[in-house]
Amino acid sequence: MTNEQEIRLQGRRVLVTGSARGLGAAFARALADAGAQVVVSDVLHERGQALAVELGAQAHYVPMDLSDAASIRAGVDQAAAAMGGLDGLINNAAITNSGGKTMDQLEADMWDRVMGVNVRGTWQATVAAAPHLAASGSGRVVNLASDTALWGAPRLMAYIASKGAVIAMTRGMARELGAQGITVNAIAPGLTLVEATEYVPAERHDYYLKGRAVQRPQVPQDVTAAALFLMTRASGFITGQLLPVNGGFVMN
Domain boundaries, the chain: 7-242
> DSSP E strands: which ranges in 84-165?
88-91, 140-144
Average pLDDT, the chain: 93
Q: Mean pLDDT across the stretch 119-145? A: 98
CA distances from 167 to 28, 87, 201, 241 (A): 22, 21, 26, 9
Collapse the DSSP code of 127 into the 3-class scheme (helix H, G, I; strand E, B; otherwise coil) and give the result.
helix
pLDDT score of 165 = 98
pLDDT score of 4 = 46
Does pLDDT of 86 surpass 50? yes
pLDDT score of 2 = 45
Tell me which amino acid residue 129 is: A
d(CA 14, CA 9): 10
> DSSP E strands: which ranges in 165-215?
183-189
pLDDT in tens, 43-83: 999 999 999 999 999 999 999 999 999 999 999 999 999 99
The Cβ-side half-sphere exposure at 237, using a 13 Å CA radius, reads 1
pLDDT score of 147 = 94
Query: Considering just the CA atoms, what is the radius of gyration of the chain in Å?
Result: 17
159, 199, 207, 208: which one is catalytic?
Answer: 159
β 13-16/37-42 pair status: parallel
Q: Mean pLDDT across the stretch 10-22? A: 96
Using a 10 angstrom Cβ sphere, with 0-12 exposed, 13-18 middle and 19 or more buried, the burial of residue 200 is: middle
Q: What's phi and psi for 232, nearest 5 deg?
A: -80, 160
pLDDT score of 144 = 98
> Which among 83, 179, 86 is positioned nearest to 126, based on CA atoms?
86
Task: Lay out the sheet containing 242-245: strands in order across.
Answer: 59-63, 37-42, 13-16, 88-91, 140-144, 183-189, 242-245
| Its pTM surpasses 0.75 | yes
d(CA 174, CA 190): 23
Whether the Cβ atoms of residue 16 and residue 31 lie closer than 8 Å to each other: yes
d(CA 96, CA 99): 6
Q: Mean pLDDT across the stretch 9-31? A: 96
pLDDT score of 217 = 85
Using N-to-C axis directions, what is the helix angle for 22-33 and 45-55, rounded to 10°? 20
159 is catalytic: yes
pLDDT in tens, 159-215: 999 999 999 999 999 999 999 999 999 999 988 877 777 667 788 888 888 889 898
Q: Mean pLDDT across the stretch 6-33? A: 94
Q: What's phi and psi for 143, nearest 5 deg?
A: -100, 135
Whether the Cβ atoms of residue 247 and residue 215 lie closer than 8 Å to each other: yes
Q: Mean pLDDT across the stretch 27-31? A: 97
Architecture category of domain 7-242 in CATH = 3-Layer(aba) Sandwich (3.40)
Residue 245: CB atoms within 10 A of its CB come to: 18
Percentage of residues in the chain having pLDDT higher than 90: 81
Does pLDDT of 6 surpass 80? no
